[in-house]
Amino acid sequence: MSTTAAHAAPSAGATIPARRLFYWSVLRELWEHRSLYVAPLAVAALILVGFTLGLGDLPDKLRTAAAAGGVRQRELVEQPYTFAALLLMGATLVIGIFYCLDALYGERRDRSVLFWKSLPVSDTITVLAKACVPLVILPLLTFAATLLTQVCMLLVASGRLIGTGLSVWSQLSFGEMTWVLFHHLVLGHGLWYAPIWGWLLFCSAWARRTPVLWAALPLLAVGLVEKIAFGTAYVGNWLGSRLMGGPADPAPEHGSMTMVEITASSPAQLLVSSGLWLGLALTAVFLVLAIRLRRSRGPA
């Protein structure tokens, strides 16, 4: 009996690997927040319905694009597919904002944080798993939803053009569009927006009520004080560059290229830009503060 107990004790006290805890913590977020993938699919369905209903004059549009020729032809053909991508990216951006604001506040509001803290999952793993959703999961989900939508649009358009002698495939650089879309989502919506996600998660951990006000009002107050006191708008310009894809790096060699243009032309330039790495450092600070707040704060 003593030998059996001696062998059973180590297995009973064995710890679960951190990577496995992190993996299941990420899955927990996907299970609890189904809107992360249901909402993009709903938007994709609406895009397909609208695109299908507007296919009546597709042959005329393709002939007009062919008459324009050159870059204009490519822009006219790619316009509905680019619009679909922008619509899905905008939808998932809004989803990411509301997810981050509720990620840590919501579990304190409904007191479920007491249950989750009783599990052998550290605050660090929990916060990092939540941060992984807007940084990694959402960009990949958006890419998959956009790619599926655009493929369906191409198939529907090809069916409409049967018998007309026209083809949208020959006038569309689909491979290049997909490549640019992937870089834009992973580098832009993931890494470039990282300080925004970190700030929202910090506010979610800090706020006892209405985290959206805690996220917005301090930034508005700082920007207003800066404008009144110094006549400058560095805070507003920085926020604009993050949200709207403004200059990714003030270095002269990059000129006035925006984040969108850099991810489309040369993603490596964005990876070595000081703006990206300063933003990631700021994100790390926000996440450390969020971890400490989750460790010390109880239910809201």
Whether 12 is covered by a domain: the verdict is no
Q: What is the pTM of this model?
A: 0.85
Whether 78 is covered by a domain: the verdict is yes
Contact assessment for residue 112 and residue 100, using Cβ atoms and an 8 Å cutoff: no
Whether 292 is covered by a domain: the verdict is yes
Q: Residue 242 — very low, low, confident or very high, per pLDDT cuts 50/70/90? A: confident
Q: For position 258, what pLDDT does the model report?
A: 57
Whether 13 is covered by a domain: the verdict is no
Q: Residue 10 — very low, low, confident or very high, per pLDDT cuts 50/70/90? A: very low
What's the domain range around 156? 18-296
Distance CA 152, CA 81 (A): 11
Note the Cα 230 to chain centre separation in Å: 34
Residue 8 in this model has a pLDDT that exceeds 60: no
Distance CA 269, CA 282 (A): 20
> What's the number of domains the chain is made of?
1
Q: For position 97, what pLDDT does the model report?
A: 95
Residue 263's Cβ-count burial label (10 Å; 0-12, 13-18, 19+) is buried
Whether 3 is covered by a domain: the verdict is no
Q: For position 7, what pLDDT does the model report?
A: 45
| Helices and strands, counts by H and E, the chain | 16, 0
Whether 1 is covered by a domain: the verdict is no
The residue among 247 and 72 whose pLDDT is bigger is 72
The residue among 121 and 275 whose pLDDT is bigger is 121
Whether 97 is covered by a domain: the verdict is yes
Residue 179 in this model has a pLDDT that exceeds 90: no
Whether 4 is covered by a domain: the verdict is no
* Tens digit of each residue's pLDDT (9 = 90 or more) over 99-158: 999 999 999 999 998 898 888 899 999 999 999 999 999 999 999 999 999 999 999 988
